[in-house]
Amino acid sequence: MRARSAGRSLGAGGRRMADAVLFEFLHTEMVAELWAHDPDPGPGVHREQRHTRVPTATCSASASCPPGCGALCVRKGQNMSLSVLEGMGFRVGQALGERNPAWLPPSSSPWAPQAWPGDPPASAWPKCLPLPPRLSRETLAYREELDILKFLCKDLWMAVFQKQMDSLRTNHQGTYVLQDNSFPLLIRMASGLQYLEEAPKFLAFTCGLLRGTLCTLGVKSLVTASVAALPACKFQVVIQKS
Amino acid sequence: MAVCVAVIAKENYPLYIRSVPTENELKFHYMVHTSLDVVDEKISAMGKALVDQRELYLGLLYPTEDYKVYGYVTNSRVKFVMVVDSSNTALRDNEIRSMFRKLHSSYTDVMCNPFYNPGDCIQSRAFDSMVTSMMIQVC
């Protein structure tokens, strides 16, 4: 019995480490793949080549584009890839919002699954994390927006990034600023001002994730992110009143 | 064993509705439709009461002479409605709860399916077979 639970928790721990690394790698590859190519290819590059490297809906690869169009096309391409990334995050956030909070029955009830102490439940979370005790009941827990935002900061961030958000501020009029001082997707890049220009595109997916989770929980919002110094970043959530 | 199972979206249109094939399936659709009022009433009533104790399982919504209707709502305001035969007295509350839990679990899996667009009708065969397993076997 003891060996079985030890084996289980070892397996869960191993899965947890691999999940985080796999997700970070997948995310980096997604950004690399979707991000439009170098906006300034240099004076030696032919105008046609500049266009063919950028997939946009409006500008096809032809030499008939006006001279100033190259940079605009690239910017459109970059904006589109940012919104594609954000859209992916949105869809994932919608699914995550449905899975959370887990709706396991209280452990005292007769039909609760028999779990070993300290053993994370396999079914509810994508990365087999131990559930915070408050969520393991069949309850509708959200009284108001602030509760939902607190859920995002604590439980969603714990589920996806294995840490909680560092601070949540609000002006009580529908704007919330979530601050993470060591964002896991930026932490491997730099710690300071290096790569500051490249950092925002690595936040697009996470913005979508926040927006998707909020959407499932019934809150329409607009999420933007900003980086002042890696790896700290801020997510600004503005609730849209319909 | 249920006679009719329905999944209703937040905007109160059916994502999935399936009933035992009888001569008058429309009456089940009608029952599910009228039960939505009761669901809304229960959700808003609970909103004023002790919020922490609000359960996802709503219990018996209303009984008719032949059938009983049970409800369940998720945090994303998706409702599950189940109609069972009144004559089946062996069906206890526990079993209804566990049926709803299975429904919720399968619905979560459907949501996580990348081929499913949220808001579309549910066409997953896995979901279908799970619902079949909890419906009365007729014919």
The whole-number pLDDT of residue A35 equals 80
**Other C-beta atoms lying within 10 Å of the C-beta of residue B2:** 23
Structure tokens belonging to residue A215: 């959407």
The whole-number pLDDT of residue A102 equals 46
Task: Assign A223 to helix, strand or coil.
Answer: strand
B10-28 mean pLDDT:
87
The whole-number pLDDT of residue A204 equals 92
Compute the distance between CA of residue A133 and CA of residue A127 in angstroms, rounded to an integer. Answer: 17
Amino acid at A89: G
- Provide CB contacts within 8 A for A185, sequence distance 6+: A24, A27, A161, A202, A203, A206
The whole-number pLDDT of residue B85 equals 85
Q: How sure is the predictor about B53, in pLDDT bands with cuts at 50, 70 and 90? A: low
Q: Which residue of A has its CA nearest to B115?
A: A91
A140 to B114: CB separation less than 8 angstroms, yes or no: no
The whole-number pLDDT of residue B36 equals 92
Largest Cα span, chain A: 74
Q: Which residue of A has its CA nearest to B55?
A: A139
Closest CA to B73 of B2, B8, B3: B8
Q: Does B56 touch chain A (CB under 8 A)?
A: yes
Q: For residue A35, list its beta bridge partners.
A: none
pLDDT at B79 over 80: yes
Evaluated on CA atoms A120, A124, A125, A130, the torsion sign reads negative
The whole-number pLDDT of residue A227 equals 92
The whole-number pLDDT of residue B58 equals 86
**Which of the two residues, A101 and B29, has the higher pLDDT score?**
B29
- Does A231 sit behind a cis peptide bond, omega within 30 degrees of 0 on the bond before it? yes
- Does A117 sit behind a cis peptide bond, omega within 30 degrees of 0 on the bond before it? no
Between A99, A140, A143, which is nearest B112 by CB? Answer: A99
B94-123 mean pLDDT:
91
Instruction: Kindly give the parts of chain A with pLDDT less than 70.
Output: 1-17, 36-77, 100-143
Compute the distance between CA of residue B70 and CA of residue B82 in angstroms, rounded to an integer. Answer: 5
Between B75, B101, B112, which is nearest A217 by CB? Answer: B75
pLDDT at B122 over 50: yes
Q: Which residue in the block uniquely carries the two structure tokens 């439980």?
A: A155
Terminal C-alpha separation, chain A: 55
Q: What is the pTM of this model?
A: 0.74
A142 to B75: CB separation less than 8 angstroms, yes or no: yes
Q: Which helix (H) or strand (E) holds B40?
A: helix B26-48
